[in-house]
């Protein structure tokens, strides 16, 4: 177990993926950039990464899936960006 919670993990993943999209775009890796963007695109065609970069994740209404792999077990659940919701404590 670690003290790294789900909110930190989500923020770090969005920051890392945003940086990777820009890197691929800058180095003519448009197929890779598009693949990442597609993975972070919601059924509404909004991109979570775009919402993150523009500090607008609170407008995402969809419930999203997460998964944690630790040792030989997989834990999964859902979360939202709505300000009234609380993230689950998945590391306790």
pLDDT tens readout for residues 8-59:
989 999 999 999 999 999 998 899 999 999 999 999 999 999 999 999 999 9
Q: CB neighbours of 31 closer than 8 A, spacing ≥ 6?
A: none
Q: At what angle do helices 6-26 and 30-39 cross, to 10 degrees?
A: 150
Whole-angstrom distance, CA of residue 23 vs CA of residue 18 = 9
Secondary structure of residue 55 in the 3-state scheme: coil
Enter the pTM of the model. Answer: 0.77
């Amino acid at each position: 177990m670690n003290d790294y919670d789900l909110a930190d993990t989500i923020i770090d993943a969005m920051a890392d993926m945003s940086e990777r999209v820009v890197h691929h775009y800058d180095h003519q890796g448009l197929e890779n950039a598009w693949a990442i963007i597609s993975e972070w695109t919601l059924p509404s065609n909004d991109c979570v990464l775009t919402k993150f970069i523009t500090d607008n994740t609170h407008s995402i209404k969809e419930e999203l899936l997460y998964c944690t792999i630790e040792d030989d077990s997989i834990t999964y659940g859902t979360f939202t960006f709505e300000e009234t919701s609380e993230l689950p404590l998945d590391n306790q």
